[in-house]
Every structure is written in C-alpha cells, then in structure tokens.
Structure 1
Amino acid sequence: MEKSLQLEIVTPDKLVLSESVDYVGAPGQLGEFGVLPNHIPFLSALSVGNLYYKKDGKTKYVFVAGGFADVSSNKITILAEAAEKAEDIDVERARKAKERAEARLAKAADQIAYARAQVALQRALSRMKAAGVS
C-alpha cells in the first residue's frame, strides 16, 4: 500500500502546487473532508475556504475559492477558481479586502449586493486565516 498521495492544485491560469503528501483536508460544499493514501475514488464540489495538507509531520495551508476535488488512483486534483499558498498571500491586501467587504455589507441596498459582500468577506477572512492572521 502506498504511504503518500499526489496533490495537485490547479487554477485556470497556473499550477499552484504539485507535491507528494501524507494527508489532505479540503472544504467541501457539505463540510470538510479528508483524504488519506489509497482513498476510494470520488468527486466533490469545493466551497471557499482553506485546504490543508500534511507532509513530513508539518501542516501547510492553501486558500481555495470554489471548484472541484477529484480523488482517484492515489492522486487528488483540486481544480479551483482561485488558489494561493499561505506564504504567497498578501496579508495587507486581504485586510483591505475585508474592510471593503464589511463596508459593503453595512450599506448593501438589496439581497444581491448583500450576498456578494458576504462572499467577498468570506474570501478575505479565509485568505487571512490561511496566512496565519486573524
């Protein structure tokens, strides 16, 4: 039996990550799910949040904004609308995005504007969390 699995995170414009890992935890639409080596094949929709993976006893984080996870043949492929490794996140930019989203929430004129502001706030908070900032 394999002791690791291949993790690939891809966005429409780049390959974000390709590594052999011990475990992957991802934000599914119906809740977080985990994948270990030799996992049964499945496909899941992803929500906005933080994916994490374990390798050599260390945990690393990657912000993902929607997409899909495909698990098969000891490989998990994340096809994300957007993704950023924790070390690549511009924390100041995420803070400013959070402030803008909070301001938009406070003055949202209709349900659509409110929903969009909530999504923007969730993305900013998830980026900050992935980068280790609260």
Structure 2
Amino acid sequence: MADPLEVRVVSADEVVWSGDAESVIAKTVEGDIGILAGHEPVLSLLAPGGVEVLLPGGQREIVAVDGGFISVAKGRVSVISEYARMGQGISVDQAERALADARAKLDAGEDDEETRKAYRRAEAQLSAARKAN
C-alpha cells in the first residue's frame, strides 16, 4: 500500500482539518480533481463546494470551502480557503435558507462583493452538508 497523503485544510484564521488520507476529491474551477498517493504536483483554484477526504479505513471527512486553492506536492495536499468549515457541523436546512437569502439579494440587485461572498459560502455549506449528512 502506498504511503498516505498528508492533508491540511486551512481557513483564514485556523487549521480546520489535518491528518493522513487515502484520497482527496475537490471541485476546481476546471472540474473535479481526485488525488491519490503519487499524484503529480498541481496547483489549482477551488470552486465553492465540499472537499472530500477519504481516511484510511473508509471513513470520510467533508469540508466546506468557498473557493481558494489546492496544492499537491510530494505526498502533501494543502487546501487553502478564506472560509472552511467541517460539513458535519452544518445543517442542510440552515444552508438552504442562507443560499435562498443570498440568491434573493442578488435577484433584487444587491450585486456587491459581500453578497456574492455570502452566496458562494452558502453554496459551499449546502454542498458539504449534503455530502456529510
């Protein structure tokens, strides 16, 4: 068996998750990427969504990110995002309401950076909550 990946998910103010993993699946702006041990180096922009970390033994962790970067090099995977939160701690109902609120603001013409950020964050939370629950 190959060595496990060393994974770190970092938000603007904390390490949200770190540990060994068998694989990582993330949504990039160019499409989904799957990472296993021995993966070629890569640096890519993340799209809002849930990053899936498959742990040894078959368990998985889901982390909501509102964008950012994913870097893979020498058996290490770094996910860096302004916002990152564990999917298990997110309610699907609350995420759906937050997304509907942000969408309503955008539809009403509030197309500023703060509203777009709230929309991306709610989209990421909903994706992660659905995968985790």
Please list every run of at least 4 consecutive aligned residues from structure 1 whose deviation after the TM superposition is greater than 3 angstroms.
90-93, 114-122
Number of the residue aligned with 1:21: 21
How far apart in 2 are the matches of 1:122 and 1:70? 21
How far apart in 1 are the matches of 2:16 and 2:4? 19
**Structure 2: stretches of 5+ with no match in the other structure:** none
Whose strand fraction is larger, Structure 1's or Structure 2's?
1
- Choose 115-124 or 77-86, whichever is displaced more: 115-124
Number of the residue aligned with 2:67: 66
Instruction: Note the C-alpha offset of 1:52.
Output: 0.5
Number of the residue aligned with 1:129: 127
Root-mean-square deviation over aligned CA pairs:
2.5
Aligned: 1:8 with 2:8 = yes
Number of corresponding residues: 131
Residues 5 and 21 of structure 2 are in contact (CA less than 8 Å); yes or no, is this contact kept in structure 1? yes
**Structure 1: stretches of 5+ with no match in the other structure:** none
| Correspondences of 1:1-134 after superposition (within 5 Å) | 2-55=2-55, 56-91=57-92, 93-108=94-109, 113=111, 117=115, 120-132=118-130
Residues 23 and 54 of structure 2 are in contact (CA less than 8 Å); yes or no, is this contact kept in structure 1? yes
The TM-score with structure 1 as length reference comes to 0.82
Instruction: Note the C-alpha offset of 1:48.
Output: 1.1
Deviations 1:15-57 (A, max 9, x none): 0111100110011111110100111112111111111011121
User: Which amino acid is the alignment partner of residue 46 of structure 2?
Assistant: L
Residues 104 and 114 of structure 1 are in contact (CA less than 8 Å); yes or no, is this contact kept in structure 2? no
Residues 96 and 122 of structure 2 are in contact (CA less than 8 Å); yes or no, is this contact kept in structure 1? yes
User: Which amino acid is the alignment partner of residue 9 of structure 1?
Assistant: V
- Choose 124-133 or 37-46, whichever is displaced more: 124-133
Percent identity, aligned pairs only, is: 29
